[in-house]
Structure 1
């Protein structure tokens, strides 16, 4: 089976996707959905709780665990607020409503804005951190609701349930849900203290299909600033103490100075005075009264003791965790050493990946630039069944997600001014992609540039011009973390590729894409072509035996051969694989990297069977231009029986290969006549005609 190859450049040159969100600074109109959540509790409510929730409409829902009391707020949604991402202000407003007359035991609630999920959506249980309110995903509820059934845990301010008690409460809900829907995963999204709870539940229930999404786990509590300052916090005024738990929401020199003073171990009295003074200054940025209500002094001290026991309990049971786990680590976490802890947990857990957020603080889910749904999709962590189906479980990128991706990669299009040519049904070559069939299945088969550079402008252009999502068949190294330790690449670098719908190479995935009538991108040359050696540019390394023809014919797919040239105009290959393996350390590194990744084409012969992985050394040039030529579609409709014959299918395979070579030859010849092949003429043209204008090219 063919493969895209490495495509390292797209991942390395484009930053890990994160939505650009502008924090709402102006005063917002009061949101009528502030109290929009349904509450369920497995314990009898106290009189105080009953009084406080008299505005709720009560009804019963039965389960094998017994009847649960459900209270819902009957409110009318505002159209002006629909679809708007909430802000930190919304969190504080909603938290204020929830804790106004808080009481009773820990309980579950479902935000009403999360009530429109699809019937087959998996359950997502949110486990809060230090605050315990359960609204940590406020800024993500609307997007999560489209693909999950969301339910959140609320721990009342005065509750003193032990860590093991909380674990048993969550475990009870998990087991109940699993008994009803055993074929669906249960997501535990948690932060800080909640991450310890999630890991503990996973350790106690290794046979339940759990997916853990953990932000800044508190398993590192023994190494944290909080551990070192517990006794100090006990001496501080009540309101000041409540603010300390929210310090990492803030960034800048005042905050850093506060935390540095504590870490340096200054004498107790000066530290208390300096810490109090700085916190009072910072309090002007925060709704201090709400914070004091959420985490009064006695509650904060209780939570710190809870963290201490949670960390010890969880660390002792990490070996029993078998759940699929994604750990999100903040680089500016002032409370916990989160990045170091993420790496430690990734080594300790067998099915674990990490994602780093260098500029974020402890409360990651409240950062404006973080989008949880995008993170889950990009990491290929979203599935509706026991096993991930890369086709049926795929959630296409939203417009904001695509715009962010395009913004990050647009520089390549700007500097290379790509020329894209396609062929209409009558055989006429046209500029642009109008010759590409809008209806699938369509199979693009072409040449893989060095490092997959051609993908950076090509994939977004299909979306912009034709609204076509091209789904690539890619090397497994972009998807799988190895079970054993080694030197494999960080697959987080390939989140963008997975977000755009790439799937790991396999006959099953190829079949599913064709059956879904997708536009599929296939590079028969794979890794060998993308990591070619000196003097091998524009040379095809295809298997001798045909691979894709009969599958395309089975679904009547149109096969579009294409070529792309321009790699020699933007980069020079200085040291290739053959040069680098002469260096002992690098040779050992490449051998381990190759050995620890999935081996492809074990039955192939010739150069295409040479699947060694190794990053060549390239030097950039003054950018030339990229050229793409998509040939006339080759119809396979009605040829299913004909192409079952190996000889006939091989003839078509050789025809496609020949046409790809002709596309490359055509572009290499024609670009010599392009007056705008070099960067300077293009810049002059755009300076006189506008930088958004399309730069002309050769006649065709």
Structure 2
């Protein structure tokens, strides 16, 4: 059943605001040995009615002062409401002037940028690790992977704390993407280093305090993989005053309940001659070889070609397993397991002191640690913890096929450059791999089932196939009718990206961003993808920022009520009486593009009818 979308451009009087000046970036170099001493705008009475909800600011509301994204809050004094539209707009404009030069990330990044995901595999990790493990007698240290490149200005720092291997290359598959929006530093613990757990905590803590003193208004990201998760929690518990975002990947806090702890005395007694067999014994429990081999597998190949390619990659991967015995010799492996045991006890005893935001990844096929059960325990024990569950992945989640780490951080709304997330200025546009995942891999069935057809109207009134009639230059406000279940969203956003390379910033229901219905088994879902693909929580301030940055904004005034309309309400507009978004659009000279669609109600009705008939036939067969 085809969908029909028609657009009608409407020009309105406008007042343009100058663009923010572009930034030029420089490389910052500083010594870790040197010491260091240790605000979105409130509107008086602005109201925008969207999604069936009014957003009028009250007298006693807290006003935020923002500096490239909100930095600190102060109590707003009681003031009379301002009724004059021009005065309200001038207040918003003055805020825009104050923030000149503190632009959005999207101004410096192209839509569908290359994040490099899928170009590196676990084989690259093993080859690079072999070069990193040459003994030099040095202590633990930080290094910046070359693949990360130079980040955008004002990017927060990300410190990676490795797992049992200690090499620090666990983000090999994610270096290019993370390096675009983070200052990435990875911890390397030499093979023969014997720094105790408390020493490692002190080492990371000193770096943390230095970075916080250098940029007190920016968050610091700690990504802890396995053993690194224990280290990250220990550091976070000791520094509750620092703004931290802690990302835990199958943390080893469950070591006492793991399958590997009973092996400790066996490994200690094992003769050195048999140590070369350890990598092959551990490979079965450390990760999922199949998921590792699928990282750079071409999805569009026919099934037979896929199997042949996968078979070749698995064979090639097995040839590199011997490197594990060089990365973790017998003495080092025994030491690391004892280190994990100490770190697990240390971190578990201090969970109550962790005040940081925590994002936890748990694998369903982790044969090394009971990660799924541990996620449930940590979600209850930590004060601010979100969980994403990956049912098909093993222990080495970051080296297996799945999602980019940056994609997950964006999807759960954890990426920010200041104390408070700014959904407009901190938004990272979708990459090419994210686009292909949504519209070609996960969304193939929906694309085939709907068979979407786009039509638009040119200036001379003629109707053409495609989106040629929609203005390319922003700001543009697309105002439309939500069809049943909002199924048209995927087609609409996808076609704009494919045909015009334009990202639609959709005004979304705040429930999508609240996380009220999440659990320890929540997978990366449709709501997360909405945030990745540009969804913004409905608010007057966000609407203002989008129009002022000349964005293409997608607005459904009927909201969820229209998408979940009752029987007999097909194609009925369920809009609020006052369409106040028109005034703000006029202030910015935005082109308002009304659009509509048909086909979804018919598609759902036919689908339900077919399912009902199939159920009846099944029941009839059982009766016979």
Q: TM (normalized to structure 1)?
A: 0.64
Relative distance call for 1:65 and 1:158 in structure 2 (3 A) is: farther
Partners of 2:227 and 2:265 in 1: CA distance = 19
- Is 1:241 the equivalent of 2:282? no
Where in structure 2 are the equivalents of 1:100-119 lying within 5 Å?
A: 100-119=134-153
Q: Residues 88 and 490 (structure 1 numbering): CA distance in 2 closer, same or farther, change over 3 Å?
A: closer
Cα distance change, pair 149–244 in 1 and its aligned pair in 2 (3 A): farther
Partners of 1:297 and 1:161 lie apart in 2 by 17
Q: Tell me the equivalent position of 1:185.
A: 219
- Deviation per residue, 1:293-340 (Å, 9 max, x gap): 221112111211111121121122112212122111212111011122
Q: Distance in 2 between matches of 1:101 and 1:485?
A: 46
Residue 274 of structure 1: aligned partner: none
Q: Cα 1:419–1:251, aligned 2, differ >3 Å: closer, same or farther?
A: closer
- Which of the residues 10, 35, 41 maps onto 1:64? 35
- Does 1:160 find its partner at 2:194? yes
Equivalent position to 1:499, from 519, 529, 532: 532
What is the alpha-carbon distance in structure 2 between the residues aligned to residue 554 and residue 338 of structure 1?
A: 52
What does 1:63-142 align with in structure 2 at a 5 Å threshold? 63-64=34-35, 85-142=119-176
State the partner residue of 2:382. Answer: 349
Give the Å deviation of 1:223: 1.6
Residue 491 of structure 1: how far off its partner (Å): 7.4
Structure 1 contact 190–214 (Cα < 8 Å) conserved: yes
Could you tell me how far apart the structure 2 residues matched to 1:63 and 1:252 are? 44
- The answer on 1:315 being equivalent to 2:315 is no
Structure 1 residues 560-571: aligned runs within 5 Å = 560-571=593-604
Counterparts of 1:350 and 1:343, CA distance in 2: 13
Give unpaired runs (5+ residues) of structure 2: 1-28, 38-115, 291-314, 612-624
Trace 1:244-255 onto structure 2 (pairs within 5 A).
244-249=281-286, 251=288
**Pairing 1:619–2:608 present:** yes
Query: Does the residue aligned with 1:158 lie in a helix, a strand or coil?
Result: coil
Question: RCO (CA 8 Å, sep 6+): is it higher in 1 or 2?
Answer: 2
Q: Measure, in 2, the Cα distance between the counterparts of 1:373 and 1:486.
A: 21
Retained in 1: the 8 A contact 2:484–2:601?
no
Deviation at 1:485, TM superposition (A): 8.7
- The equivalent position to 1:404 in structure 2, one of 437, 441, 454, is 437
Contact map agreement 1:423 1:429 (CA 8 A) in 2: yes
User: Greater shift after overlay, 421-430 or 327-336?
Assistant: 421-430
Cα displacement string for residues 659-683 of structure 1 (whole angstroms, at most 9, x for unaligned residues):
xxxxxxxxxxxxxxxxxxxxxxxxx
Which deviates the most, 541-550 or 519-528?
Answer: 541-550
Aligned length: 478
Alpha-carbon distance change, 326 to 61 in structure 1, aligned in 2, over 3 angstroms: closer
CA 1:619–1:204 in 2, change beyond 3 Å: closer, same or farther?
A: farther
Cα distance between partner residues in 2 of 1:227 and 1:560 = 63
Q: TM-score, normalised by structure 2?
A: 0.71
CA distance in 2, matches of 1:335, 1:158: 23
* 1:298 match: secondary structure: helix
Q: Match of 1:188, SS?
A: strand
| Backbone CA RMSD of aligned residues | 2.9
Correspondence 1:547-696 to 2 at 5 A: 547-572=580-605, 619=608, 621=610
Structure 1 counterpart SS, 2:473: coil
Does the CA contact (< 8 Å) of 1:157 and 1:295 recur in 2?
yes
Unaligned runs of 5+ in 1: 1-39, 41-58, 67-81, 254-281, 574-617, 623-700
CA change 1:488–1:442 in 2 (3 A) is farther
Residue by residue over 1:36-64, the C-alpha shift from the partner in whole angstroms, topping out at 9 and shown as x without a partner, is: xxxx9xxxxxxxxxxxxxxxxxx977621
Aligned to 2:61: none
Out of 175, 194, 198, the residue aligned to residue 228 of structure 2 is 194
Q: Distance in 1 between matches of 2:316 and 2:432?
A: 37
Name the SS of the counterpart of 1:385 in structure 2: coil
Could you tell me whether the CA contact under 8 Å between 1:248 and 1:363 is conserved in 2? no
Tell me by how many angstroms 1:432 deviates: 1.7
Q: Within 1, Cα distance between the matches of 2:520 and 2:248?
A: 24
